[in-house]
A and B are shown apart, each in its own frame.
Chain A
């Protein structure tokens, strides 16, 4: 381009300015029309009477006997979801760390075990996977342990702690089987996260460890893992959100978490619309809140590093 040519056609640098385009108009009209049609179908065609108030009692209700407000099914379900997710995350992280280390091991057997595990989970749909593990773990591995009997024999204050951490004593076996099944499912994804984190560390770090005469274990322990942990943490946090969402699936094996409670309430009140919208909103609140929190923590971590 010659200098003599006037630069009038050069566009100003792109700036985010609120500008209404034709597409905006079309989309807004379409969205409004859609909502109007929705309202018409619900109110005029189905003649549905919204009754949100009736569902409020499922959060908390007033118990005249105890003279106080008591958490009801929805809050209980949310707590069980939290309990299931936290325990599953603990175990999934352990499985993922061990299998991730196996994945980059020098021993081919370990690599094959880890690869076999990851490929199995990746190619297995979640519902049959949970059912198969629930049956195998619950019926074969945990039945001989007699967890419930063990817990019932414990002194009362120990029982209180167990109920706080794991839920009702007579559901202990189901709960632990579900947690292990869920943890094994998510563990495969964490394996890949750990593997990616370990492989992202520059070769020079391994070689530096070599030249210092460290054994491979010491290299991992003192050189590689401390660096990898920083890179593993953000995807691991996202995996936790994924796990909370996947924990809805254990409602299918009768763990009484939020989705299970939603089903109960929807069937007993026949308020399907309100119940499912509330349950979805509760999941959204938790997951979206956590996502924002984790994003902020990641930003702070990156700033600290610079």
Chain B
């Protein structure tokens, strides 16, 4: 066991080790790119108005602290994602189970749903939910968006559940068959305890995808962070400042989540290796 892991560490060590000099070059390069962007903007007389940005994040009126429109938008983004996450997990789980079921109707329904979602753009799905499904069932725009997002992400979670369940070795299924477990007992005691740890990191990664995809909802009337940015640009004409601020907010949120997911993944993999 020691020999292969030793070489693996050495090999990966060579790939991930970062000499400080390259780090310096990298930061100089990024700095140069930012400088070029700023210089290019001032070249065609762009009037930078960064001082107006903090007001869009928070305000203090008579000593009272108030959130600005961009942060309000961020909370709507969180709200949409928070509703869509459990729903997409439910959709994905049902789809994955139906695909593995004995029922031909279940298999057709599940694969039909997956094909339709996978072969149409998410933007068109959002329009369909907003302009077609919502009026038919009398849904509010907010719920139409959540459903669009849930059904879209559900196709990804279905895939996560499928690969998790299928990664359980065949011998485990046969062993549980041979001791006469029912289907429920088989999933409950043998398959899921082994599959769930494998599913957890990609499922948490879905949160990042959800927040990213929720920006597409700005195409319809929903007041998430991207919509707020678009509205503010229309009002103030500060396209560069507002887009860069919005981008930075998204990067901070999703980057933090990505790092957490990465740590989680390493931990689960280490526990699995033990």
Contacts and interface: CB of A to CB of B under 8 A. Distances in A.
Interface of A: 18-21, 23-24, 27-28, 31, 38, 41-42, 46, 104, 107-109, 111-113, 116, 119-120, 122-129, 131-132, 135-136, 139-141, 143, 241, 244-249, 251-252, 259, 262-263, 266, 272-273, 276-277, 279-280, 283-284, 287-288, 291
A211 B102 CA distance: 55
Contact of B121 (A20, A27, A248): A248
A140 B43 CA distance: 9
B226 A128 contact: yes
Given A21-B102, A283-B121, A123 B22 contact: no
Contacts of A141: 40
Contact of A140 (B19, B40, B229, B254): B40
A287 B247 contact: no
B47 interface: no
B216 interface: yes
A139 B37 CA distance: 11
Contacts of B40: 140-141
Contact of B124 (A41, A107, A143, A283): A283
Given A123-B255, A249-B216, 11 more contacts: A123-B251, A124-B254, A126-B212, A127-B215, A128-B215, A128-B246, A135-B239, A135-B240, A140-B37, A276-B124, A291-B118
A60 B244 CA distance: 43
B132 A108 contact: no
A202 B136 CA distance: 56
Contacts, number: 168
Contacts of B131: 266, 272-273, 276
A139 B22 CA distance: 31
B116 interface: yes
A109 B120 contact: no
Contacts of A18: 104
Interface stretch (B23-31, B51-59, B188-196): B23-31
Contacts of A125: 211-216, 226, 250, 254
A272 B119 contact: no
| Secondary structure type dominating chain B contacts | helix
B133 to A, nearest CB: 10
Interface string B118-137: 11111111011001100111
Interface in B235-274: 239-240, 243-244, 246-247, 250-251, 254-255, 258
A46 B125 CA distance: 21
Nearest to B240: A135
Given A125-B250, A139-B44, A24 B22 contact: no
Given A27-B109, A123-B251, A125-B211, A108 B128 contact: no
A94 B17 CA distance: 27
The 4 A-B pairs at the shortest CB distance, nearest first, are namely A125-B215, A108-B22, A248-B121, A287-B119
A207 B243 CA distance: 48
Most buried by B among A120, A284, A287: A284
